[in-house]
Amino acid sequence: MEHQVTEAEISRAKSLHSLLLFDFIVVHVFVFVLALSLLKASPIPIMLMPVLSVALLGTVIFKATRARTQDLSVFVLCHNLLAAQRAKLFLVLFLVTGTLTAALVMGGAQFGMSKITSYALAAGIGQLPFMVSLLILVVLEFDAEHQCKSGKIPAKALALHASLNKA
């Protein structure tokens, strides 16, 4: 659905999508690869990744929650609600798969598994679904950002706005 929007509204609506894309691509792809390459030297980069990600996701959720009461533009509010929903989904996914991966990698021996088995399960059960979900969310966020630039509101965002008005 297209709306007549100003450049300022587009910029405000696009900001949270840009933060999510930064988290998804820069933090979870580039920083992760960098952290893996530096893992033998120092574990700090791999610990920095979840801290950065949770901070960015928390910022998206906080700003979208604040926009519910402060922003009068339906266009901006709809895009912010959509970004917040995806940030919450990603945060839950990140915490669940991260916890599972950490438990398997660090505690696989306590479950009676060999090191290779625990790493394989951590990658197959913990990281593979996470990476597939990350790829899907990147595509969805690029689409939402493109629709934002075009002055469109995705149907899912309109549904979120309608459910917010009912409550």
Specify whether the CB–CB gap between 43 and 65 falls below 8 A: no
Q: Is 122's pLDDT higher than 70?
A: yes
Q: Is the pTM of this model over 0.95?
A: no
Per-residue confidence (pLDDT) for residue 53, from 0 to 100: 92
pLDDT at 1 exceeding the cut of 70:
no
- pLDDT tens-place string over residues 13-68: 899 999 999 999 999 888 888 887 887 787 787 888 889 999 999 999 999 989 88
pLDDT at 28: 86
| Residue 23 near residue 56 (C-beta atoms within 8 A) | yes
pLDDT at 86: 93
Is-contact 85 160, C-beta < 8 A? yes
* Confidence bin at 71 (pLDDT 50/70/90): low
Q: Looking at residue 2, what is its pLDDT?
A: 63
Residue-averaged pLDDT of the chain = 85
Which long-range contacts (C-beta less than 8 Å, at least 24 apart) are formed by 102-106?
none
Report the distance separating Cα 71 and Cα 109, nearest Å.
52
